[in-house]
Amino acid sequence: MPRRAALLLLLVAALLAPAGAASNAPFYYLNPKEIDLTQLLPPPPPATSAEARSDEQQVAAAVAARSPTQLYEAQEDSKRDVFFFAPSVGTNFTASRLPVTARFFARVESDVEKLIRRAKAYWNRPRPNGAPEHHGSYPSGHAAFAASAAILLAELMPAKREAIFNQARLFAENRILLGLHYPSDVASGWTAGTLAVFVMMHDRAFRHDFAAVRNELARANL
């Protein structure tokens, strides 16, 4: 096959690749050799342990006690997108108004997600009964996102720190209410997101982009 035709086919394949293929993209701010969650996090509780039984009981209790309104709100607010924090930050906190911020946090989320998927694959903990088994349960990627985004937003807007973290905690805990994660998944996911941000903060590209985000938010009076 002529080289030009082969290159064209590769380009078309890349454009048509499913969204999951993005997980093969390189890390932006993290060097995965510098942070190994399988060494930094405790393993999930053994299936027959008292902690595992407590996990199961807490999920069952949360699912049984939730109201239709709570279920609806938790489902609606489950997308991992930094602009989910607009209620805590301000109505001007939108992707269309803040393209630099949008690009930066998309990169952070991508790095955190890839890091979490490696840990999920390593432990391969089954999800709570009735939850879809897309990926392992431990640690929670949503909790990791909530922690990483909250830490960075609070650093950028310290006056709104309390509201940001309150919203982040609710976002993470909703994974239990939805019956998708155990409490230990959420706790370790939060730790993982914190560790990821700590490592990112030492990266030169991260610091450059973080400064650009700070400037953009200042111009937007946020």
Q: Which residues contact residue 116 at a Cβ distance below 8 angstroms, ignoring those fewer than 6 apart?
A: 37, 139, 140, 141, 144, 189, 192
Helical pair 183-200 and 161-177, crossing angle rounded to 10 deg: 140
CATH classification for the domain delimited by 23-219, as one of 3.40.50.10860, 1.10.10.10, 1.10.1670.40, 1.20.144.10: 1.20.144.10
Quick one: pLDDT at residue 13? Answer: 35
Mean pLDDT for the chain overall? 89
Which two tokens mark 129?
Answer: 């009964």
Domain locations in the chain as residue ranges: 23-219
CB atoms within 10 A of CB 6: 10
Report the chain (222 residues): mean pLDDT per 10 consecutive residues.
39 34 72 93 95 96 95 90 95 96 97 96 93 87 97 97 97 95 98 97 97 97 91
**Residue 124 Ramachandran class (φ > 0 left, ψ -120 to 50 alpha, else beta):** left
Quick one: pLDDT at residue 78? Answer: 85
Local structure of 74: helix, strand or coil:
helix
